[in-house]
Structure 1
Amino acid sequence: MSRTTPARPASVEAVFPELAAHRARTTRLHPRPGRPGIHDSHVGGPILWPELEPWPACHEPHQRETEGYAPDEIRSARAAGLWPRSRPWPGTGTPGQDGPVPFVGLAQFFRRDVPGLAAGPAGADLVQLFRCPFTHGPYLERAYHLRWRRTEEAERAARFLAAPPEVPLLRWEDELPEPCVLHPEEVDTYPWAEDDTLPAPLIALIDSWDDAQTAEHGPDAPSYQCDLSIPPGWRVGGFPSWASTGPLAIACESCATPMGLLLTAGGDEMDAASHSWMPLEDRDPSLRGKASVRGGQSVAGPTRLRFGRDRDLHVFTCPADPGHPPQWVLS
């Protein structure tokens, strides 16, 4: 089933004609629980990985843990609609604390499936996203890994990895992604309005409009940031949201070129402030507003993943050379 973003509560460029010059396109991925295969774009499904190629591993020191959740028990509990039971760590502490830990495959996207997905190095058209299941250092930082491939070469492998290596326990239940199929949809998007992301007079107009909407309609009034600019959830291209950090200048560490947003991974597809973006297919047409959203967990948080404290993970790549190291920003 396709997914269709409803019309915005206000016509963005009718209210702010100046924004036409700043308009861009983003592809909302609309992940929903399903059974994707290794040749599909997905979140949480099986990764297209040649059997003879070593699975990526994290070699950094990891924080010691005392309890966690077994991946198979997480899967069984979800299937039964239950919460998995935590278990004490076996032995002396976190597996791999002083050695390599296999990354968890979070997602893979083929350019043939996802409009607007930027090309990788040497014409790579498949990107795969991984995360270390454990935290690092005193600030509990996370390690991510991006792997680019040429689909034609990857699919020539004689055999593909059937089951990637897993750690025996995960610290949190939301470290394990739920397999989700995608329903890509291109929509217009506009920059986050703060600091120098837009001209100062335009940001002032946006702030004044927000204030007028709240004065007229109360706390449930539409706002530019929540309803008109950037959709929530998993998406490719477009603009980053800066709700937690404020706008940041992201430059390539190899060549100092301003980096572009490759993709955004979001823990939730909606929250109380962004329910207007929920697709028509996931709504009860007899109801209005947030009450019309149906589908529960499979719609509001289909991937079961979390990034930071319910923030967005922005993945930036270098437009001058996509082979330069990416940057990861939680915002």
Structure 2
Amino acid sequence: MTRTTPPRPVNVEAVFPELAAYRGRTTRLHPRPGRPGMRESHVGGPMLWPEGEPWPVCHEPHRPETEGYVPAEIRRARAAGGRPRRRPWPGAETPGEDGPVPYVALAQLFRRHVPGLAAGPDGADLVQIFRCPFTHGPYLERRYHLRWRRAAETERAERFLAAPPEVPMLRWENELPEPCVLHPEEVDTYPWAEDDTLPASLIARIDAWDDAQAAEHGPDAPSYQFDLSIPPGWRVGGYPSWASTGPMAIGCECCGTPMRLLLTAGGDEMDAGSRSWAPWEDRDPSLREKASTKGGPPFAQPTRLRFGRDRDLHVFICPADPGHPPQWVLS
């Protein structure tokens, strides 16, 4: 099934003609629970991974844990519509204190499914994203890993990994992604309106317009940030959202070039403020406007993943050399 974003409640360029110069495109991925294959773009599905190639592991020390969740029990509980049981952590040591920890596969994207996906080094057209299942240091920092591939070359491997290595327990249930198929859809997007992301005079007018809309129409009034600029959820390209941190300048650590947004991973596909972005296919036709959006994890939190305290994870790459290390930014 395709996913179709409704027209925006207001034609933002009719209100602010200057925004036409800033119009961009982003590909909403619309992950929904399913059974993706290794040759498909997905979140949480099987990776296209040649057998015998080392799986990525985290070698850094990890915080000790006292309780957690068994991955198999998480899967069974989700299938039954329940919650898994939290269990005491086995043994005295956290995995990784005395050995490497396998990364958890989060997503893979092929450019043949997502044309807006940026090119990787040496013509790579497949990107795979991983996260260490444990935290690091006193601030619970996370470690991520990005792997570029040339899809046609990788698909010529004789054998593929049937099942990746997996830790026996996870600290949180939302460390384990729900396998999701994708429904890519390109939509227009506009910059986050704060600090110097747009001219100061334009941001002031946008803020004044938001205030006037709220005064006239109440809490359901459309707003620039929530309804007109950047869609929620998983998306490729476009502009980053800065709801938690405020805008940040992201430069390449190797060459100083301003970095380009490759991908945004979001824990929520919609929330109370962004329901206008809910696709037509995820609405109840018997109801109207925001009340028509369906609820529950399959629609609001299909991947079951969480990034920080319900933030967006932005993955930036260097446009001068995509082989330079990416940057991972929570906002």
User: Structure 2 length normalisation: TM-score?
Assistant: 0.99
Distance 1:274 1:8 in 2: 11
Matching residue of 2:225: 225
- Count of residues paired in the alignment: 331
One-letter identity of the residue aligned with 1:44: G
Gaps of 5+ in 2: none
Moved more, 220-229 or 93-102: 93-102
Partner SS state of residue 306, structure 1: coil
Moved more, 92-101 or 67-76: 92-101
Distance 1:295 1:217, change over 3 A: closer
Deviation string 1:27-76 (CA, Å, 9 cap, x unpaired) is 00000000000000000000110011000000111000001101110000
Whether 1:288 aligns to 2:288 is yes
- Runs (4 or more) in structure 1 with deviation over 3 Å come to none
User: Is contact 1:44-1:106 (8 Å) kept?
Assistant: yes
Matching residue of 1:244: 244
Superposed counterparts of 1:185-200, under 5 Å: 185-200=185-200
User: Is contact 2:60-2:96 (8 Å) kept?
Assistant: no
Whether 1:83 aligns to 2:91 is no
Distance 1:326 1:98 in 2: 28
Superposed counterparts of 1:148-227, under 5 Å: 148-227=148-227
Distance 1:300 1:276 in 2: 13
User: Structure 1 length normalisation: TM-score?
Assistant: 0.99
Matching residue of 2:64: 64
Distance 2:200 2:232 in 1: 25
Deviation at 1:94, TM superposition (A): 1.4
One-letter identity of the residue aligned with 1:239: Y
Distance 1:68 1:210 in 2: 44
Partner SS state of residue 231, structure 1: coil
Partner SS state of residue 129, structure 1: strand
Partner SS state of residue 251, structure 2: coil
One-letter identity of the residue aligned with 2:117: L
One-letter identity of the residue aligned with 2:250: I
One-letter identity of the residue aligned with 1:268: D
Matching residue of 2:266: 266
User: Is contact 1:115-1:186 (8 Å) kept?
Assistant: no
Identity across matched positions, percent: 82
Distance 2:88 2:156 in 1: 42
Matching residue of 1:253: 253
Distance 1:98 1:217 in 2: 59
Distance 2:167 2:306 in 1: 18
Distance 2:138 2:101 in 1: 19
Deviation string 1:123-150 (CA, Å, 9 cap, x unpaired) is 0000000000000011100000000000
Matching residue of 1:134: 134
Partner SS state of residue 27, structure 1: strand
